[in-house]
Every structure is written in C-alpha cells, then in structure tokens.
Amino acid sequence: MKGKQVGYVLSALIIIGILGIGVRLISTDSNDFNMSGLLPITSDVIDTVKINSNNSDADVTLKKMNEASWMVGKNMVFPPTLENFWMNVSNIKNAQLVSRKAKYHNRFGVSNESGTTVTFYLGQSVQEEFIVGDTWDADVRLCYIRKSGKDNVYGIPCSQPPDRTFSTNPNLWRNPIIVSIPASEIDSLEFEFNNTIDNFSITKEINNDWIINDSDVADTRIVDSMLEIFSQFYTSGFANTTVSFDSPDASIRINTIEGSDYITTKIKFLSKDSESYYVQIPSQPGTTFIVASELIDNYLLLNQEDLKIQSN
C-alpha cells in the first residue's frame, strides 16, 4: 500500500509540475500579444513630439505650451486634431500583436525605409519611439506600429489613415476653420467688390426675410446655402508665401446681431488662379487660407441679381 501511495504522490507532483510549466508558457505568450514595458507617453507627461517621414524629408514637431495648447511651428495645433492624436496614442498600450518576423515589415509599412517615425520626448530624453506603418484599409481600420529596433508589429484601432493622424504635413495640424458663425447670429451681410458700383448688402428682417439694399426680397434658399457655409467655413489649404490684401478682389462683412457672442468679421478674397482664391480674416492677419473657386464663385461672391427671387 505504501508503494502505491508513493506512486500516487509522485504522479500528482509530476502533473502539478507540468501544469505549472504550461501556465508559465501561456502567461508568457499572452504578455507577448500586447505591447508591454512602455514608459508613459500621455499628453500630461510628454512635452515634445517629433514626426518624421522615413522616405522623404517631411517632418513635424509638436511642442507643448501648456496642458491645453500645443504649437506646430508658429501656429496653434487645432484642438480636435490634437485630441484625435492623443486618443490614438492612448491605444498603443493595448496594441495587439500581428507579426513577430522582420520579413513582414514591408507588408505592414513599418520598415526603416517606409512609414513614419514618431518620437515622444520628455525634456531632452526620448521617452518612446515607434514606426507607424503607411498601410491602412478602410474595412480593417488598423494602424500598424512597432518599436524602433524591435521586430514585433502591433495593430491599434485607427478611424482614419495614419498619414492623417500622424501627419508630417504641418498644415494638417492647423485650424482649418476660417469662420464659424451660426446663421441665427448673423444680422446682415455686406458685399464689396473692386467695382464699387456692384456693392450691396442684405439684411435680415423680423419675419426672417432677407432684403437686398432695403428693397428686394432675396431668395431664401440661396441665402441659407451661404449662411450654412459661414457656420463652418473651412479652408482647403494655407499659402506658404506672404500675400497682400491691400486691394482684394472682393470682401464680405458678416455683421452679427446685437449682444451676440460672435464678433463681426470681414472676409477678404483675392484670386489666386483659375481654381482657387486666397482668403484672409482680420483676426488672423498672418494666415492666408486657400479656398476653391467653385465654392466661392457659385455660393459666396454673388451679385444682386443672383440673390433675387427669379420669376418662372
């Protein structure tokens, strides 16, 4: 009986030992499925982020001014763009392993010659550095990343392509909104052209009609389209050279209602070429926006006849 008991004990010990080894292997493999051992790279810790293209000279440096404000060059980073960036960065700690082999780096766009290198600094010290792949699929919506000098490639959720979230184009970090004034806050619009004969204004009446030069009623549908643009008037780009607006081709003064939280402003337009206009506003004299001619000519710089109600 004693011999059998000893055998049972030995068998139990062997089984326990095997189970212990199995648990350790599973635990090790499970940890490897997530990116681990990262230093903090949150916005409250990091003070500089450098984003460099691995296949061109394009680069961007983001510098923290305070907890809420970051700069790209001499311009403020647009808060929604910054928020999206840090939201994606926060996903890195939960990144899921997709490949362990260096031979697949090109497939995921994370080789040393492709993708984008994103470096997080705390003072002068590098906190973390990653290569973000240039591969993205709208159906999968993943960005692929790997730590510099490592082979493992991981995936994180990305709602837009990595060249938007981790852009090396400084202009994509800037505020793209020229003006943003709700229609309910606008009292009148004044249109001025080089030929002063064409100048006119439209004013909103109590009954919500828009009146041209205190005379004709404007077509509400056309005015509404114009007001919708002013509620979120976006640029399509920024000029890299200094542009003089001393003699603009035209301007639209947006007069807000009395007591409004939105200030009255004046938008100046200067033809750039057949496809676009330079645009400027007083609150940003050092910034020149670029907007498509199709939008401006067809919806904003209209004459009095365009705005009148057309009889059938």
In a domain, 14, yes or no: no
In a domain, 25, yes or no: no
Domain that holds residue 164: 48-173
- 186 - beta bridge partners? 256
CA distance 169 to 294: 25
Whether residues 160 and 183 fall in one domain: no
Cα angle value 284/285/291 (rounded, 5°): 75
Give the residue from 151, 173, 195 where a domain finishes.
173
State how many domains the chain has: 2
Q: Which pLDDT value is given to residue 132?
A: 97
Whether residues 167 and 183 fall in one domain: no
Residue that has been written with the tokens 């000519």 in this structure: 297
Whether residues 135 and 194 fall in one domain: no
CA distance 56 to 114: 9
Give the residue from 158, 173, 188 where a domain finishes.
173
Query: What does the pLDDT look like over 48-71, one tens digit per residue?
Result: 999 999 999 999 999 999 988 999
Query: What does the pLDDT look like over 275-310, one tens digit per residue?
Result: 999 999 999 988 999 999 999 999 999 999 999 987
CA distance 271 to 269: 7
CA distance 305 to 303: 6
Total number of residues shown for the chain = 312
Give the residue from 143, 173, 203 where a domain finishes.
173
| 233-253: b (≥16 Cβ within 10 Å) or e | bebebbbeeebebeebbbbbe
- C-alpha distances (whole Å) from 210 to each of 1, 22, 109, 193, 258 are 106, 78, 55, 20, 17
Query: What does the pLDDT look like over 213-272, one tens digit per residue?
Result: 988 999 999 999 999 999 999 999 999 899 999 999 999 999 999 999 999 999 999 999
What is the SS3 assignment for 254? Answer: strand
Query: What does the pLDDT look like over 174-187, one tens digit per residue?
Result: 999 999 999 999 99
